[in-house]
Amino acid sequence: MDTLSQIGSLHPLEIKVLTVLGQHQTQQARPLRQEDIGHAAGLEPSQLSMAVEWLLAKALIRVESEVVTPIVSLSKVGERYFEKYAPIERILSVVRDAKQTGKRITIQDLQAREGLEPSEMSGAVGSLKKEGAIRIVPGGHVEATGAPSPLAESLRTLLKDLHGAPRELHAFSEPLRRVIEHYAVKRGNPNEPFRIDDRVERRYQLTPTGQEAAQTIATQGLGDEVSQLTPELLKDGSWRTKRFRQYTISLRPPRLSAGRRHPYREFLDLVKRKLVSMGFQEMRGSLVETEFWNMDALYMPQFHPARAIHDVYFLKEPTHARAIAEPFLSRVAETHRSGDDTGSAGWGYAYDPERAKRLVLRSQGTAVSAHRLASGPAVPGKYFSIARCFRYDQVDATHATDFFQVEGIVLGPDINFRTLLGLLNLFAVEMAQAKESRFLPAYFPFTEPSVELHVRHPKLGWMELGGAGLFRPEVTLPLGVEVPVIAWGLGLDRMAMVALGIHDIRDLFSTDLDMLRTTRGHF
C-alpha cells in the first residue's frame, strides 16, 4: 500500500496522533509520553489508546522507550487502617491506657476487645515487642514500656500521605520504603495496607513510514476529511473539497433483525402454491367438529375399533352441537344401519344420533372434505386443505398434540383406481421430487380401494409420502355426490423437518426467537 492510500484509510483519531507526533519530532525534543500526546491531540484516554494500538499495528509509530515506575497506594485494608487505625496502633493505645489506669491486660483480652484476627494480633504484638514498645510480663500480661514505636509512627505517616493519593515508591525515604514493602499486598497475603503497582510509561516515535505519512499530511493536508456524506455536503457542493475516509470493509457488520416468514409456514406456503398450481381449490373448516362430520359421515361406525384409530378430544362445554344438518344426518344414519340405497349392506347397528352431535376437536382433515362433499362441490373438482388437527397423544419428539394435515379430494366421472395412482404419481414428483414411487395396499375406514404411496426421495430415500383411496359410496352418496371421489392425504412433516434441519417435531412450533431468526430452510 502506498503512503497516500494508507493515509486515506486512516481514522480521524489516528490522523490526530500522527500530526501531534509529526510536529513534535521536528522540534528535536524528547519523544512524547502517551498522556502528552493525548493532551496535545485533545483525545480521551480511551480514544487515544485505540488510536495508538491501531498505529502500532500499522507500524506507523513505535515505542521509543518504556519506563516502569512502581506506584504505592492504599489497599482497601489500608484505607480502613487510615480511618480506624492499624492493629499495631490500636494495641499500643490500649496497652498505654491500661498502664495509666493500672489495669492488667492479657493477649486474649486485647484480642477480644479489639476484635482482631489472631494473625493480625500476633504480627502486631511481635513487632511492638521487637521494638521494645511493649513487653510480656509473667502471667501473660502485656505492658507498655513507655518507649516509642517508630513502626506505628511510620505507618501513620504513610497512611496519611497515601490516603486517596497514590505516589511513586521512590518518593519515600529508604526506611519508609522498607515499611511499605513489608506491609504491601503480595500474592498469598492480600490483607495488607499498601499496594505497589507498576506504572508503565511509554514514549512514542514515528517510524520512517509514519514520518512520511505525517509529512504528507502536513504538506498536502487531508483536504478536510469526513467520515459521513451528509445532505449539507451535497447541497452546498462542499463534498468536492472533502476527503472521505476509507473503511475497513472486511469487518463484520452490526446484526439486523428482519421481518420474515416462519420457515415452516414458508414450507407450507410452497405446498399450498404447488396444490393451487395443480388445479386444487382450498377448503377451510372448523377446529371444533361434531363426531358426525369428523367420523360418522366418513362411514366410521360408532362402535368399530377403527374408531379407536382416532382417539379424540371431547369438549367440556357445550358437549354437543344442537343439531346436525339434514338430510345428511338421516341419510348417514340409515347408511350405517342398513346401507340405505348406497348398494351397501351397512354396518347393521343401532346408530345413535345423539352421539353424532358430540363435539370433538377435529382429529382428521378428512372432516373438512366431508363438509365440502355435502355442500355441492364442483364436478369435476379438486380440493385441498391444510388443516390443524388434534390427537390424543403423549407429546414427544415424534408426536405433536396439534399439527397440520395436508389432504383433499378429487372428484369427477373419470376418477378410478388408475387415475388415483396417476394423481399419486404426480404428488410424488411435485411434492418430493421423486423419480421412483410404488403403491401398497392400505386401510382407511372411508376408502376402498386404499393405497399407500411410497417414494424414493432424493435425500431421504424410500419414505411413505401419503395415503389415498376412492371414497366408499357409503361416504359419497349420503352426502349427495354421485361421481367417484379420490380422498388423499400427504405426510409432509418429515420432509419439512429435514428441510428445516430439525429433529424434534415440537421444534416446528418453536418458541425460540433465535432459532426462528437463524433457521434458513432448504426447500
Partner 1 sequence: MPTISINLKDFEQLLGTVALGEATAGRNVLTAESLEPWLSLVKGELKDHDHETGEVRVELQDSNRPDLWSAEGVARQIRIKLTGAAPAYPFFGAKPQARRRLLVAPGLEQIRPYVAACTACGYAVTEVGLAQLIQVQEKLADIFGRKRSTVSIGLYRLPAIVFPVTYDLVKPDDARFTPLGFDDKMSLREILAVHPKGLEYGALIAGHDRVPLLRDDEGQVLSLPPIINSREIGEVRIGDRDLFVEVTGTDLLMVVLTLNILAVNLADRGAAIEPVQMTYPYETALGKSMLTPLDFGQPRAIAVQVIREALGVPLEPKQIREALSVYGCEVRGSKDKLTVKLPPYRNDLMHAVDVVEDVAISRGYGSFEPVMPSQFTVGGLSRVEQMSDRVRDLMVGLGFQEIMANILASRQELIERMGLTGSEWDRIVEVDNAMSQTFSCLRQWLVPSLLRVEAASTRSFYPHRLFEVGEVAVPDQAEEHGSRTRMSLGALIAHASANFSEVHSSLDLLLFYLNCPYSLEPVAHPSFLPGRAGRILLQGHAIGLIGELHPEVLEQWQVTMPAVVFELEVDRLAEGTVEKS
Q: Closer CB to partner 1, residue 82 or residue 280? A: 280
* Residue 352 interacting with partner 1 (CB under 8 A): no
Per CB under 8 A, does 121 bind partner 1?
Answer: no
User: Which positions from 429 through 448 interact with partner 1, judged by CB under 8 A?
Assistant: 438-443, 445, 448
Among positions 395-414, residues that touch partner 1 (CB under 8 A) are 395, 400-402, 410, 412-414
Q: Which stretch binds partner 1 (CB under 8 A): 24-32, 222-230, 239-247, 273-281?
A: 273-281
Cβ 393 to partner 1, closest distance in Å?
Answer: 8
Considering only 83, 241, 511, 522, the residue that binds partner 1 (CB under 8 A) is 511
Q: Could you tell me which of 320, 420, 410 has the C-alpha nearest to residue 372?
A: 410
Tally Cβ neighbours within 10 Å of residue 320: 16
451 binds partner 1 (CB under 8 A): yes
How does DSSP classify residue 309?
G
How many C-beta atoms lie closer than 10 Å to residue 372's C-beta?
24
Beta bridge partners of 240: none
Question: Do the strands 402-411 and 437-441 form a parallel or antiparallel pair, or are they unpaired?
Answer: unpaired
Q: Which of 177, 304, 337, 494 binds partner 1 (CB under 8 A)?
A: 304
Strand partners of residue 70? 198
Beta bridge partners of 145: none
Minimum distance, C-beta of residue 228 to partner 1, in the bound complex (Å) = 24
Tell me the closest approach of the beta carbon of residue 183 to partner 1, in angstroms: 47
Find all residues with CB under 8 Å of 366, minimum gap 6, and list them. 298, 407, 446, 487, 489
**Contact residue for partner 1 among 153, 168, 198, 282 (CB under 8 A):** 282
Contact 449, 510 (CB under 8 A): no
Q: What is the pattern of x (binds partner 1, CB under 8 A) and - over residues 363-382? A: ---------------x-xxx
> C-beta of 279: minimal distance to partner 1 in Å?
4
The window from 5-13, 243-251, 421-429, 495-503 that contacts partner 1 (CB under 8 A) reads: 421-429
Instruction: Give the count of alpha carbons within 13 A of 154, CB side only.
Output: 20
Is there binding between residue 281 and partner 1 (CB under 8 A)? yes
Check: CB of residue 204 under 8 Å from CB of residue 9. no
Amino acid type, 401: T
Task: Give every CB contact of residue 221 below 8 A, 6+ residues apart in sequence.
Answer: none
Output the nine-digit C-alpha cell for 346: 351397512
Options 190, 318, 327, 501; binder of partner 1; rule CB under 8 A: 318
Q: Does 478 bind partner 1 (CB under 8 A)?
A: no
Q: Cα Rg for the chain, rounded, in angstroms?
A: 45
Query: Which three three-digit cell numbers place residue 164?
Result: 486517596
| Among 221, 227, 224, 230, CA closest to 242 | 224
Q: Does 323 bind partner 1 (CB under 8 A)?
A: yes
> Does the footprint of partner 1 cover residue 130 (CB under 8 A)?
no
Q: Under the criterion CB under 8 A, does residue 350 sit at the interface with partner 1?
A: no
- The reply on whether position 520 binds partner 1 by CB under 8 A is no
CB of 389 to partner 1, least distance (A): 10
Please name the helix (run of DSSP H) or strand (run of DSSP E) that holds residue 162, with its range, or none: helix 150-162
* Nearest-angstrom CA–CA distance, 505 and 509: 8
Strand partners, 196: 72
Q: Binding of partner 1 at residue 351 (CB under 8 A)?
A: no
Q: Smallest gap, in angstroms, from Cβ of residue 160 to partner 1?
A: 47
12 binds partner 1 (CB under 8 A): no
452 in Cβ contact with 440 (< 8 Å): yes
Instruction: Identify which of residues 151 and 283 has a Cβ nearer to partner 1 in the complex.
Output: 283
Q: Smaller CB distance to partner 1: residue 158 or 451?
A: 451
Interface pattern 225-264 for partner 1 (x via CB under 8 A): ------------------------------x-xxxxxx-x
Residues 6+ apart with CB under 8 A from 279: 382
- Least distance to partner 1, CB of residue 457, Å: 18
- Answer yes or no whether residue 302 interacts with partner 1 by CB under 8 A: no
Q: Which helix (H) or strand (E) holds 200?
A: strand 194-206
| Among the listed residues 346, 353, 491, 521, the single contact to partner 1 using CB under 8 A | 346
Number of residues that bind partner 1 (CB under 8 A): 106
Binding-site string for partner 1 from residue 325 to residue 344, where x marks contact by CB under 8 A and - marks none: --------------x--xxx
Strand bridging mode 134-137 / 105-106? unpaired
The number of angstroms, rounded, from the C-alpha of 102 to the middle of its chain's C-alpha atoms is 72
C-alpha cell, 357: 352431535
- Shortest Å, Cβ 518 to partner 1: 10
Confirm or reject binding of residue 347 to partner 1 (CB under 8 A): yes
| Beta carbon nearer to partner 1, 237 or 259 | 259
Residue 461 in contact with partner 1, rule: CB under 8 A: no
CB closer to partner 1 out of 67 and 515: 515
Distance, CA of 494 to CA of 459 (rounded, Å): 12
Q: According to the binding rule CB under 8 A, does residue 485 interact with partner 1?
A: no
State phi, psi for 113 to the nearest 5 degrees. Answer: -65, -40
